Amino acid sequence: MQKRFGPLAPLLFFSLLVHPMLQAQVSRAAAAPVWTASWIENDSPEDKAVRPAQYYRKVFDATKKIRSATLSVTAHGVYEAALNGKRIGNDYMQPGWTSYAKRLQYQQYDVTALVQKGSNCLGVTVGNGWYRGSLGWGEDNTNRWGKKTGLLGQLDIVYSDGSKLSIPTDASWKTGNGPILENEIYHGETIDARLDLGDWNKPSYNDAGWKTAVTATYNNSILIPTINEPIRKHETFKPVRIITTPKGEKVIDFGQNLVGWVTVKATGKAGEKISIRHTEVLDRDGNFYTENLRSARATAHYFLSGKGTETFEPHFTFYGFRYIKIDGYPGEILPENFTAVALYSDMKPTGSFSCSDTLLNQLQHNITWGQRGNFLDVPTDCPQRDERLGWTGDAQAFFRTAAYNYNVKAFFSKWLKDVAADQRPDGAITHVVPDVLNGEAGSSGWADVATIIPWQMYEIYGDKKVLEDQYTSMVNWVGYMQKHTDSADLFHYGWHFGDWLSYRPGDDGGTDAVTDKAEISQCFYAHSVQLLINAAQVLGKQDDVSTYSKLLKRIKDAYNREYVTGSGRLVSNTQTSYVLALQFDMLPEAQRPKAAAYLADNISRYNNHLTTGFLGTPYLCHVLSKNGYAALAFTLLKQETFPSWLYPVKKGATTIWERWDGIKPDGSFQNAGMNSFNHYAYGAIGDWMYQNIAGIQSAAPGYSKIIIKPLIGAGITWAEGKFESVNGTISSKWKIENGKLQLDVAIPKGSTAVIHVPDAGGKNYLVKEVGAGTWHFEQ
């Protein structure tokens, strides 16, 4: 049984525990603080026990008229701050996630408007976050960076007469517990409203029962200012269905797989417990399905105070979900009492894509929501199960698509510094960043994030600072591979993921679908060296250009000796093997057409389906369209049976799946041990759609030179793309009407473009060079 609901008027919610908010932004213009503060903690033992959030407060007097007030603050854990009862800023999960032992961000807020003459109170709540609690897997997956949460903060006030007052965290602060009990990234949050502290962050509150904070000493040299966007609330969703499952479960469907939490309103008796479990899918019988969450409980528990209508939402966790299962709710479950809230890093949208094909538009929607749900301060693989880690392979595969959809310059600049910070002394890049897998590192296609993303960032944003910042890391990763090549210049050292989650039919045996990991490694070795050469050229390091150019020739020669047969076939003879060989320019020019033909033949033998995994998929359609097989690229893109991009769309997906067949044609699921339904890697096809259907391509760093060249095919009759480059908006809009193609283009000031105008059949391109302005073409 289910009830369906149409659009509802949005409701304004206030959390039971979050006070009225000051819309202060993180200040990046403030001077770095001169820290006089001490770290403060509570007196709980250092153990693995589940700990409630900690509350800290400090009352102080401001005796004069105030010119400015700046709060500098960070935590071991994640925090929310308030001044005189008003929440500071609209950021969540601060100070964000970094390699905490090496880099810990602090934030600075302009709180001038909140400080009042006379008595004031600064209050901060600290939860476990990524610092303490469960993270990763294995027997010892708790307290990766420390056994106790803590707070470091300093309020610096400048009076109108120029005198100053500093309020640092120290032993004069008070600490206590409150209504936020268990708070874990994987398992969720428990709030007991009976323990509500009322006006605890106002000066009038009686804190006689609170304890004195304990000071602690840590290495403050690792403190760094914040350079990236904070996590914030974004879209909200109302229920589209309220379901009673065959098992009798009460379930709400929000219609979109998202990451964040649900705000709940309820009226009941003191002590009544509401439990909200989160998941992405229902099983084929329509029941609530959580096996793919593995050990993550992903649950919110709320204990009512019994004081009228109460509103609950979490503070220090997040969930990946489309559906929630509700237990213990007092009264009828009504849609107006439940609102899903999306959380993700507050990146600026920069791109849009749409076309005449509704399935491709849904695919673009799914790609965008996959990015939103996995870009919470770190580019994670998935947001729902007991993982949610910064997998390097996923990030490099998806980066170009990510950079079309959003401005990710600050987001990835911050994360790349952690890539370098966690890089092992031998140069190997860890599988996940921040590293919680005890130094596991060095997998081809994953570790190459050290070269791939810095170079692509330079190409997109035109700022060589990222190359300057990451150059040593790039050199050290290439050095690791060079050190571990054999006498034949082949790199196959260590363990590698290979073309992760590539598709292999059950009756195939892997003959033409599973690519030799060593062959893949040699391709990525060459690619990283080429990108290092490119970076060295930009930075004027000519000796390095010469050295690595010689190395690159040896790598490619070794590849051709080892992996190319006399007939021109590759040893693996798979789609991914040909894709990487062509994309990374591993073959002599004369052999490229033959390799492209072998690739096309392989696709044909799989009935025009792809078999590529995480490493081959991002380049597949690019290689086809660049080598004379654009029609085949369109065929793959438009394929609706699995494995394909549109198979999940036809199955009702609203994000990108981890596996091509996460839900099988019969409605059963893939292996629950690895079956995320929000996993952006295969969304890398978005890059090809922007570049080739909309036709927006960069021909020089920072889009100072642009190519507009739409491909026409697959029955698509119109398409439109926009991209906000560093120079301004680039747009390409075309349609076929009355047998003619019309193309409208906008080029920003500071850029030039070469426009390739096809006819309605996608042939006979006219080419015109233009400058900034708007242009109309018809053929």
Q: Quick one: what percent of the chain has pLDDT higher than 90?
A: 92
- Say what angle helices 409-422 and 465-483 make with each other, to 10 degrees: 40
Q: Are residues 680 and 719 in the same domain?
A: no
Same domain? For 44 and 142 the reply is: yes
At 303, the amino acid letter reads: F
In angstroms, how far apart are the furthest CA atoms of the chain? 86
Question: 469 and 335, same structural domain?
Answer: no
Backbone angles phi, psi at 322, to 5 degrees: -120, -30
Give the pLDDT of residue 510: 56
Clarify whether residues 660 and 716 are in a common domain. Answer: no
CATH number at 721 reads 2.60.420.10
Same domain, 279 and 340: yes
Domain check: are 411 and 430 in the same one?
yes
Same domain, 409 and 263: no
CA–CA dist 647, 652 (Å, integer): 9
Q: Average per-residue pLDDT in the chain?
A: 95
Q: Secondary structure of the chain: what % helix, strand, coil (to 5)?
A: 25, 30, 45
Number of independent structural domains in the chain = 4
Query: Where in the sequence is the domain holding 84, given as residue range(s)?
Result: 21-187+194-229
Domain boundary among 295, 315, 345: 345
pLDDT at 10: 29
Which helix (H) or strand (E) segment holds residue 746: the answer is strand 740-747
Dist. CA 560–CA 347, nearest whole Å: 43
694, 720, 746: which is the final residue of a domain?
Answer: 694
Give pLDDT, residue 47.
83
Considering only CA atoms, which of 325, 396, 416, 322 is closest in space to residue 366?
A: 322
Among candidates 418, 420, 378, which has minimal Cα distance to 395?
A: 378
Over residues 550-558, mean pLDDT: 99
- Which CATH number covers residue 689? 1.50.10.10
Tell whether 501 and 461 lie within a shared domain.
Answer: yes
Written as six digits, the tokens of 295 are: 């050990």
Residues 709 and 643 in one domain: no
Whether residue 315 has pLDDT greater than 50: yes
pLDDT for res 48: 82
Residue 111 pLDDT exceeds 70: yes
Residues 260 and 335 in one domain: yes
Among residues 635, 659, 694, the one where a domain terminates is: 694
* pLDDT range class, residue 30, cuts 50, 70, 90: confident
Residue 230 has a pLDDT of 99
Q: Supply the CATH number for residue 332's domain.
A: 2.60.120.260
Higher pLDDT, 399 or 11: 399
For 440-498, write each residue's pLDDT tens digit.
999 999 999 999 999 999 999 999 999 999 999 999 999 999 999 999 999 999 999 99
Q: State the DSSP H helix or E strand holding residue 395, giving kind and residue range, or none if neither.
A: helix 392-405
What confidence score (pLDDT) does residue 751 get?
Answer: 99
Q: What is the average per-residue pLDDT within 242-262?
A: 99
**pLDDT at residue 19 is higher than 50:** no
Neighbouring C-beta atoms of residue 2, cutoff 10 Å: 12
Give the pTM.
0.96
pLDDT band at 511 (very low <50, low <70, confident <90, very high): low
Structural element, H or E, at residue 108: strand 104-110
**What burial letters (b/e) apply to 742-771, b meaning 16+ CB within 10 Å?**
bbebbbbeebebebbbbbbebeeeeeeebe
Indicate if 126 and 86 belong to the same structural domain. Answer: yes
Tell me the per-residue pLDDT of 739-774, one tens digit each, with 9 for 90 and over: 999 999 999 999 999 999 999 999 999 999 999 999
Mean pLDDT of 61-75: 98
Strands (E), 269-350: 273-279, 281-282, 288-289, 299-303, 309-312, 319-327, 338-345
Q: Which residues are catalytic?
A: 387, 658
Q: What is the pLDDT of residue 509?
A: 59
**Rounded Cα distance, 350 and 729, in Å:** 9
CA dihedral of 398, 403, 409, 410, whole degrees rounded to 10: -70
**Average pLDDT, stretch 334-343?**
99
SS3 260: strand
Q: Do 146 and 249 reside in the same domain of the chain?
A: no
DSSP 190-220: EEEGGG--SSTTSTT---TTPEEPEEE---G
Least confident window among 53-57, 197-201, 502-506: 502-506
Residues 6 or more apart whose CB falls under 8 angstroms from that of 364 comprise: 353, 354, 686, 689
The fraction of the chain above a pLDDT of 70, given in percent, is 96
